[in-house]
Structure 1
Amino acid sequence: MDGTAGAIFDDVEIGQDIPTLVKGPMTTAHIMRWSAAMENWHRIHYDWKYATEHDKLPDVMVNGSWKQHVMIQLLSDWVGDTGWAWKVGFQFRGMNVPGDTLTAWGRVTGKQERGAWGVVDLDIGLRDQKGNEGTPGTARVVLPRRGGPPVPYPFDPAVLG
């Protein structure tokens, strides 16, 4: 993080959208760099001929682990230094290829006070430039209450009582 505070539980409303995170347009270089960093040498991420002819895919594929990273970045950017992304779950339902611009989004679906902190539930996802939802999911974050202590690091769910 950059040392900034994040969302405050008291300011969050059910139905509220959190700030989006836009990545792209993706290039084969982006995909290959991520594959190399993760040591994921599956050929569908860098070998166009293999991906299209052998696996019958439309192009090389954006890595699932990269999509996971983007979803966590979305939540981490929103909760800032004082909150915690507690639980995240999503499904890979769509393929993304070079040329795609992907937007991570989140919408508050629930909130509850839990001791000194607040717990916020969200629907989250990753859409392409055509609006196709390829990575739907849910998340639960813990946020500080106004005037309350920051969420401890590392976060222990037992503190929620």
Structure 2
Amino acid sequence: MSVATTITAAQGAVFDDVEVGQDIPSVVKGPMTTAHIMRWSAAMENWHRIHYDWQYATGNDGLPDVLVNGSWKQHVVIQLVADWVGDTGWAWKIAFQFRGMNIPGDTLTAWGRVTDKEERGRWGLVDLEIGLRNQKGEESTPGTARVVLPRRGGPPVPYPFDPAALDAP
């Protein structure tokens, strides 16, 4: 199920408009190049040769190519959730696993789908299935997220968010 709703980052999602089964707007990056991967490595000061030295990655470690950095994939998955909740919600918990490799030439799509929702006090909790797939549909970074969203006409989710506030009157 997909609900065609345009949500700006400033607005963010509203709990009352969320439906179980709904897809959230995806984030697409790529196609990735060795230059993208090397720039991220340099910015993160991650000098492991599997991210920039093709001969080392393929010859020494037996990899198919240099690899997209796990920290970059983490950033994109978090961007997906943060973009959807916008300035009015809170990305409370995000968990994922690195289960596959991504290489230059891959176009990566971060995706999410609502799996559950629950009214809690003045706000709503929404659970998501999230992940990162390449252009072949291969999942490399599956995960889950829990977000706190404002209710229509209710107060904004405070920053920083205190989970104890969920049970406050």
Pairwise CA distance, 1:68:
0.5
Pairwise CA distance, 1:92:
0.6
Q: Which runs of 5+ in 1 are unaligned?
A: none
Report the RMSD for the aligned CA atoms in angstroms. 1.0
1:132 is matched with 138
1:65 is matched with 71
2:166 is matched with 160
- Secondary structure in 2 aligned to 1:67? helix
Aligned partners of 2:9 and 2:83 also within 8 Å:
no
Pairwise CA distance, 1:156:
1.2
Which of 97, 100, 107 is the aligned partner of 1:101?
A: 107
- Secondary structure in 2 aligned to 1:104? strand
**Rounded Cα–Cα distance in structure 1 between residues aligned with 2:43 and 2:124:** 36
**Rounded Cα–Cα distance in structure 2 between residues aligned with 1:66 and 1:37:** 11
5 Å-filtered alignment, 1:71-82, equals: 71-82=77-88
Aligned partners of 2:126 and 2:146 also within 8 Å:
yes
User: Could you tell me the percent identity over the aligned residues?
Assistant: 82
Pairwise CA distance, 1:64:
0.3
Pairwise CA distance, 1:113:
0.6
TM-score normalised to structure 1 length:
0.97
TM-score normalised to structure 2 length:
0.93
1:8 is matched with 14
5 Å-filtered alignment, 1:23-34, equals: 23-34=29-40
1:146 is matched with 152
**Cα deviation code 1:100-123 (max 9, x no counterpart):** 000000000000011110000010
Letter in 2 for 1:13: E
- Secondary structure in 2 aligned to 1:120? strand
Letter in 1 for 2:154: G
Distance 1:22 1:3, change over 3 A: closer
Pairwise CA distance, 1:3:
6.2
Q: Which runs of 4+ in 1 moved over 4 A?
A: none
- Secondary structure in 1 aligned to 2:25? strand
Pairwise CA distance, 1:29:
0.7
Distance 1:138 1:3, change over 3 A: closer
**Rounded Cα–Cα distance in structure 2 between residues aligned with 1:134 and 1:38:** 21
1:17 is matched with 23
Letter in 2 for 1:143: L
